[in-house]
Amino acid sequence: MSNSNLSDIEIEILLFGKWRFDTSWEKITIQFKDDMTYEQTRIQTFIFSKPREIIIGNKFTGVWYVSERTLYLTVKTVPKSILNFKVPLVFMISLADILASVSSVFGTEKYEVIEINSSKFRIMDKEQSIIGIKIN
């Protein structure tokens, strides 16, 4: 899986498709689309994190890109949140989507791409190494 000489564009091309990876507290599936958007599902496996999943939901959509071997995920919408109700102002606004957009300005997820090929990838977040497997 060694690929220290891959460019950011080559890494992006390898990421297109659906990936599955597990952390110690959640199971995550991300589909990276070629229009640089993604759909993510997070299932909490740690019992004390379940209330967070109930409130904010487990599905997210957003935009992604790779720069200097770092994968950036920016959340834009939270379609399955209980906070995703419409607020009637001049036009209908989703409260959860507003909160997601504002929080993504301050909290874009960043992962260093350690290794990647067409079926596996390894990324590093702040605390741990995460291994992903491509699913069809």
Q: Encode pLDDT of 31-84 as tens digits.
A: 999 999 999 998 888 777 667 666 667 888 899 999 999 999 998 877 665 556
Q: What is the pTM of this model?
A: 0.78
Residue 90 lies inside a defined structural domain of this protein: yes
pLDDT digits 0-9 by tens, 18-34? 999 988 788 999 999 99
Q: How many domains does the chain have?
A: 1
Strands (E), 23-108: 26-32, 37-44, 59-67, 70-77, 86-88, 92-94
Instruction: Tell me: pLDDT of 16 over 70.
Output: yes
Residue 3 lies inside a defined structural domain of this protein: no
Burial (CB count within 10 angstroms: exposed 0-12, middle 13-18, buried 19+), residue 108: middle
Domain that holds residue 18: 8-135
pLDDT at residue 1, rounded to an integer: 47
